[in-house]
Chains A and B, each alone.
Chain A
Amino acid sequence: GNSVTQMEGPVTLSEEAFLTINCTYTATGYPSLFWYVQYPGEGLQLLLKATKADDKGSNKGFEATYRKETTSFHLEKGSVQVSDSAVYFCALSSPNTGNQFYFGTGTSLTVIP
């Protein structure tokens, strides 16, 4: 079946530190992969996505590369800001399962000045 495993939080970083949040997946067929972000008190917003192997999604300085050989989609940012404090969710969608979305448990990030 389909599932997403992402790194446990919470993560606390100083401003300008490097961020990595690990995400691995199990899926049938060829899924699309996503990172969603949830700022305090809000719903989830799409941060970036990749639809095929070796694609790199990027947005707001965040990047993630679709690695089929390691079934991973790790989120990275070179220099985090206080405004990046949020909960980050890795997710997949597979046409083999009616394009339903499967989410990881979320990783809470706090960036301190």
Chain B
Amino acid sequence: NAGVTQTPKFQVLKTGQSMTLQCAQDMNHEYMSWYRQDPGMGLRLIHYSVGAGITDQGEVPNGYNVSRSTTEDFPLRLLSAAPSQTSVYFCASSKGGQLFFGPGTRLTVL
């Protein structure tokens, strides 16, 4: 099992550009989520999904879209990147009350 995978590992964008952060898991977990990690603020939930076709907003959803067309994939879309979205992004899946994290994507918006 690869677990939770994320691509890319690093990305630099210019303000106003759009992009998609990819996340996939091969553990057949129903629950998937996206977090951003910022210094002094811990992890904040952006969006989550409890199964294919179902998504919901977390604590900081503005500026991000998600979709869940399959159990395996949960991409995060930045519609128009802003410097405030410079962060490290983690995807996670969950089963049995435990979160499994991907390795993260470090995003810089200039």
Contacts and interface: CB of A to CB of B under 8 A. Distances in A.
Interface of A: 32, 34, 36, 42-46, 49, 51, 89, 91, 93, 98-101, 103-106
A51 B50 contact: no
For the complex, would chain A's binding face be called helix, strand, loop or mixed by DSSP majority?
strand
B90 A49 contact: no
Interface in B66-109: 90, 92, 94, 97-99, 101-104
Contacts, number: 49
A100 B97 contact: no
B48 interface: yes
Given A36-B101, A46-B98, A103-B42, 8 more contacts: A34-B98, A36-B99, A43-B103, A44-B90, A99-B94, A101-B45, A104-B42, A105-B42
Nearest to B106: A41
Given A98-B50, A99-B97, A43 B104 contact: yes
**Majority DSSP secondary structure for residues of B touching A:** strand
Interface string B4-32: 10000000000000000000000000010
B41 A105 contact: yes
Nearest to A108: B39
B99 A44 contact: yes
Interface of B: 4, 31, 33, 35, 40-45, 48, 50, 58, 90, 92, 94, 97-99, 101-104
A43 B101 contact: yes
A42 B45 CA distance: 18
Contacts of A51: 97
A64 to B, nearest CB: 15
Nearest to B38: A105
Contact of B99 (A42, A46, A98, A104): A46
Contacts of A101: 33, 45, 94, 99
Contacts of B90: 43-44
